[in-house]
Structure formats: structure tokens, C-alpha cells
Amino acid sequence: MEGRLSIVVVKEGRAARPSPLIRLILRLVLLASLLLGLALAFFRLQGIKPVTDKTRALNKRFGNPAMMRLAGRRYFFAGVIRHTGRRSGREYATPIWAVPSADGFVVSLPFGEGADWLKNLLAAGRATIETRGETREVSEPVVVDRKDARPLLPRRARLLFGLAGSSAT
């Protein structure tokens, strides 16, 4: 065998594909990464007033009606705040993210202090919050900075409020 040249012949073909489960997992990871990136960009852009105003208008028209179908239910993250219009006197319902605290609720303000529901709440001084299948009356709302609201939140919610870059009421 000495002095002989060995050659291996390999047929040309396609590379082995990962299993369907692996492909599904990779797609889900890619999709989750993309959604997280978009969410972070969305919440970070909220500090720019023209972007905030346009986003708030879009959310009011399309997002809120969709969220209202599930908001306030026992196993859904969003709650509903029922408030009275400051000029019209009409009753309104708006989906919110309300986290229970020792003194009431901490509510995220991703669109800032210009949200109509917040203006109505501050003018009336009271509202009703439905969250996790329970309804509670709330009064004496106070808008606080994010750093002041953090200690009132459970550990899991602190991360989400931080990502949202939002103040709280």
C-alpha cells in the first residue's frame, strides 16, 4: 500500500437539513427576537412627541378595540379602566396595564401624560379598574416618575416597566 494515492469520491448533493422541529424552534427564536427588537424600538421612540401622538392615535383607533375583547379577564395581562369624560360626562373604558400594589394600582403610561383617559382620571379623581377578573374602585390618582414607582412593583413587573420606559400613575 505504500506509495499509493488514496482518493475518496463523494457524491455532490444537498447538505443535510435540520429536522422540522429544529427549524420551527429557530423560526420562533428569530420571530421572538424580531418582536422584542420592535417593542424596544417602539417604547424608546415614545419620548419623541410627534411619534407619541401618532402612535397614541393609531392605538386608540385600532389597538384599544382589539384589546377590549380580553382586557380585564382573569388570565389576561391587560385590565380596563372605566372613567368619566372631563367635558362630555360620558363613561369610557380603556385597556391599561395595571399592576396591584399595597396602596392600589401602578398603571403604565407608555404614551405619557397626554393620554385622554389619564386626563379624565385626574379631573374626576376616581375610576374603576377591572383586572384579573376583579373590579375595584380607585381614587386620588397621583402621577409619579418611573423610579418612584419601581419599588411598588413586583420583581417581574419591574423589568417590563423598565423596557417600556414609562411613567406610572
Give the residue numbers spanning the domain of 46. Answer: 20-168
Residue 49 lies inside a defined structural domain of this protein: yes
Residues 6+ apart with CB under 8 A from 136: 104, 105, 128, 129, 130
Residue 5 lies inside a defined structural domain of this protein: no
Q: Is the dihedral of CA 146, 82, 129, 60 positive or negative?
A: negative
Cell digits of residue 3: 506509495
Residue type, 142: V
Higher pLDDT, 153 or 37: 153
Residue 3 lies inside a defined structural domain of this protein: no
Residue 34 lies inside a defined structural domain of this protein: yes
Residue 13 lies inside a defined structural domain of this protein: no
Please report which confidence band the pLDDT of residue 54 belongs to, taking 50, 70 and 90 as the band edges. confident
- pLDDT, tens digit (0-9, with 9 covering 90-100), for 76-96: 777 888 999 999 999 998 888
Residue type, 39: A
Residue 143 lies inside a defined structural domain of this protein: yes
- pLDDT, tens digit (0-9, with 9 covering 90-100), for 111-144: 778 888 899 999 999 998 988 888 889 888 888 8
Residue 36 lies inside a defined structural domain of this protein: yes
CATH number of domain containing 73: 2.30.110
Looking at the structure of the chain, the number of domains it has is 1
Residue 158 and residue 97: Cα distance in Å, rounded?
A: 13
Residue 8 lies inside a defined structural domain of this protein: no
The residue among 52, 116, 107, 54 whose CA lies nearest residue 79 is: 107
